[in-house]
Structure 1
Amino acid sequence: MTQRHLPTRPGMQPEDWRDWAASAETIGGPARFDRAFLQCWAGTSAKMRQPALDHHLIVLHRGGPKRVKRIAGSRCHIVDVPLNAFTTIESGSIYRWDTEGPIAFAHLFVAPERFADVVSQAFDRDPASVGLAETVGQSDRHVAALFDLLIASRYDPDWAAVADDYLDALLLRLAATSASGGVFRTSGRITLTPRTIARVREFIDAHLQERISLDDLARVAGYSRYHFVRAFRQASGVPPYTYLLQMRIRAAAAMLRESDRPIAQIARDTGFATHAQFSTRFRETIGVTPAIFRGRADAGNAATASPFDTPAVRSPERAGRYNAG
């Protein structure tokens, strides 16, 4: 993390930077979330002119090892880049790139304000002092794993909540491992009361059919997204998006037991985009498909009919007060 004044968002919007990718294969996306979006590519030109962008750019190098040249004026920086290494480019920077080797990568575009908000809250810094430190071909297994989680979760019914949590963790990892980051001090502790958790749960119950983001839940709790995630994890034992998924599955299980609604309708009523997606998540959580669960419930199998008698998450009544550390 560099210490300097935030840029005033000069440059081209990432969506308009596509000339270099005219013949490329788009691998899903773009997947959009709060002030950021993710796009995966393969088969782009080996030579690329990168204009000044109004977003920070974080690149995950996929496909295999390669040699990358970053050219700025008369300066040329050459790096042998291993698989799943990352490159960071601050908004406003202009480079030419030349790649020797397999060309496949994920682009994560992040608004400078999003990066500054997350880092300043986590490390008690003035947002105006936060910038993105640039690097080429750096290896970090945590960054690679978080990138992979972002990519894999693109089709999750709670993408907004899942992605925001992963992205915040990724941005904090980049800041904490930056060579120019200095000594960081995390911000103070906060608590979530049982009443606050109950309020969050009531909001989820009332909006099960909708996509729910971390920002939605944080507003209900009355905290910033970053502080809410930390405090909620401490108070409930799981991240907010896991709690949200478990509540969706809990509601679906009750509908399967107590109604004759078609399974596809139950999937929609509990916020899942498709029947297949619902079945996969239900089986991962309960251990059987919705159809088998319903059949066993109809046959009077009490163990299957009550999968949440001992829930994985603490109920609001049992949550108590916990410090977010």
Structure 2
Amino acid sequence: MDEMTSPSNSSNLGDKYDAAGNVPLASTANRLWRGGYAELRVHRPSAIDAFVQSVTEVAIVIDGCARIDRRGNSSIQRFDAKAGTFCICPQGVPVDYLQSKAGNVKILHLYITHGPETSNQPSADTFADWPYLGGIPDPLVAQIGAAIAEELLEETAGGELLLDTLKDALIARISRRIQRANMNGGSGRNSTCGLDSARLTRVLDFLNGSIEERPSLADIAKTACLSRYHFVRAFKVATGQTPCQYLSGLRLDRARELLSCEQESIDNIANRLQFSNSANFCRAFRRNTGFSPTAYRNRFTRRRLSQQTPGTSR
């Protein structure tokens, strides 16, 4: 599966899928995610005409099975797109045709733009060896794709950071596979070392100061003077959590504090804690606490009133 239009306008990246009648289910269009663009679609039997790939795309089959026929870079490919497989279409590849046959499939599309090393985007060198290839089975890529799809369908407290982490893990996994295919084995670097106390303190201070902001994974890794890929592994060894999980916990702790103040509206709290809307905030809060924000606030208010009123039984 492939992407076709301007890389500068993420809302156009799935246009030709739209034209072919493939149904969008969810996307990052309104999420203000700086790390790329992702969308989840149901693909029906369809045909897409010639195009030139505008950004690198990874398509991961979440559910279903279909037969794919495509030709790009003068290579004709026919494969089964089934759950647990993925395909790659690098930026700049001329695709002559793309056809999906004999079944409906739910596919996650991740569109990856390139940038300088100092930006939040991977450099073009990262994808220099990525091939035009499809129908690749990989359980880890499938798990990462499922996690991104779940985040698109139901936003969590640290959603943007989670998407950054998952995107980087996906790029690293695919790059390692390609490296092993092109060379006889990978580098095998040790990834069991955590953060030293000074670096960990800097990172935790940064995260505590970023609860009401949108730090990228690159921003957080920079405080530890590590690459994003090394940082995520080291942080989890040191804390037992990913950076996303840790920041999510901080935001939900802050939400509980804010809900104890009656004058702060739920819409304002959702906005302050970087949720795209209050509905997504309410779902994340309920999943974490077992209560809706309103029920939590009412419970806290009743408890406070019972403590303030003499003779009130509990």
**TM-score band w.r.t. shorter chain:** 0.7 to 0.9
Specify the alignment match of 2:311 in structure 1.
Answer: none
Worse-matched range after superposition: 15-24 or 277-286: 15-24
Change (3 A) 1:285 1:147: same
For the Cα contact (< 8 Å) 1:232–1:240, is it kept in 2?
yes
1:79-118 aligned at under 5 Å gives the runs 79-95=79-95, 96-104=97-105, 105-111=107-113
Which residue type is aligned with residue 70 of structure 2?
Answer: R
TM-score by length of 2: 0.74
**Distance in 1 separating the partners of 2:38 and 2:90:** 16
Other structure's SS at 2:27 match: coil
Worse-matched range after superposition: 166-175 or 58-67: 58-67
Taking only aligned residues, the RMSD between alpha carbons, in angstroms, comes to 3.7
Q: Does 2:200 match 1:197? A: yes
Specify the alignment match of 2:138 in structure 1.
Answer: 140
For the Cα contact (< 8 Å) 2:86–2:136, is it kept in 1?
yes
Specify the alignment match of 1:212 in structure 2.
Answer: 215
Q: Does 2:278 match 1:293? A: no
Change (3 A) 1:19 1:277: closer
Gaps of 5+ in 1: 1-10, 122-126, 302-325
For the Cα contact (< 8 Å) 1:20–1:49, is it kept in 2?
no
Other structure's SS at 1:246 match: helix
Change (3 A) 1:261 1:230: same
**Distance in 2 separating the partners of 1:241 and 1:263:** 22
**Distance in 1 separating the partners of 2:206 and 2:126:** 34
For the Cα contact (< 8 Å) 1:35–1:114, is it kept in 2?
no
**Distance in 2 separating the partners of 1:61 and 1:279:** 29
Specify the alignment match of 1:49 in structure 2.
Answer: 49
For residue 253 of structure 2, the aligned residue among 247, 250, 254 is 250
For the Cα contact (< 8 Å) 1:133–1:180, is it kept in 2?
no
Which residue type is aligned with residue 19 of structure 2?
Answer: A
**Distance in 1 separating the partners of 2:50 and 2:157:** 34
Change (3 A) 1:209 1:13: same
Listed one character per residue, the Cα deviations across residues 159-209 of structure 1 (whole Å, up to 9, x for unaligned) are: 321111111122222233346143112446665344433333333343333
Which residue type is aligned with residue 219 of structure 2?
Answer: D
Other structure's SS at 1:272 match: coil
Other structure's SS at 1:64 match: strand
Other structure's SS at 1:65 match: strand
Which residue type is aligned with residue 107 of structure 1?
Answer: H
Distance apart, 1:248 and its partner CA? 0.7
Worse-matched range after superposition: 233-242 or 166-175: 166-175
Listed one character per residue, the Cα deviations across residues 283-319 of structure 1 (whole Å, up to 9, x for unaligned) are: 2222333333334434559xxxxxxxxxxxxxxxxxx
For the Cα contact (< 8 Å) 1:282–1:290, is it kept in 2?
yes
For the Cα contact (< 8 Å) 1:63–1:102, is it kept in 2?
no
Listed one character per residue, the Cα deviations across residues 47-71 of structure 1 (whole Å, up to 9, x for unaligned) are: 2235332422212235622222223
Which residue type is aligned with residue 83 of structure 2?
Answer: L
Specify the alignment match of 1:284 in structure 2.
Answer: 287
For the Cα contact (< 8 Å) 1:146–1:166, is it kept in 2?
yes
Specify the alignment match of 1:7 in structure 2.
Answer: none
Specify the alignment match of 1:174 in structure 2.
Answer: 174
Change (3 A) 1:225 1:75: closer
For residue 19 of structure 2, the aligned residue among 18, 22, 29 is 22
1:33-44 aligned at under 5 Å gives the runs 33-34=33-34, 36-42=36-42
TM-score by length of 1: 0.72
Listed one character per residue, the Cα deviations across residues 50-102 of structure 1 (whole Å, up to 9, x for unaligned) are: 53324222122356222222235876332233234211123332232222123
**Distance in 2 separating the partners of 1:85 and 1:251:** 39
How many pairs align?
Answer: 285
Q: Does 2:222 match 1:225? A: no
Other structure's SS at 1:184 match: coil
Specify the alignment match of 2:162 in structure 1.
Answer: 162
Other structure's SS at 2:234 match: helix
Other structure's SS at 2:64 match: coil
For residue 278 of structure 2, the aligned residue among 244, 261, 275 is 275
Other structure's SS at 1:271 match: coil
Give the fraction of aligned pairs with identical amino acids, expressed as a percent: 21
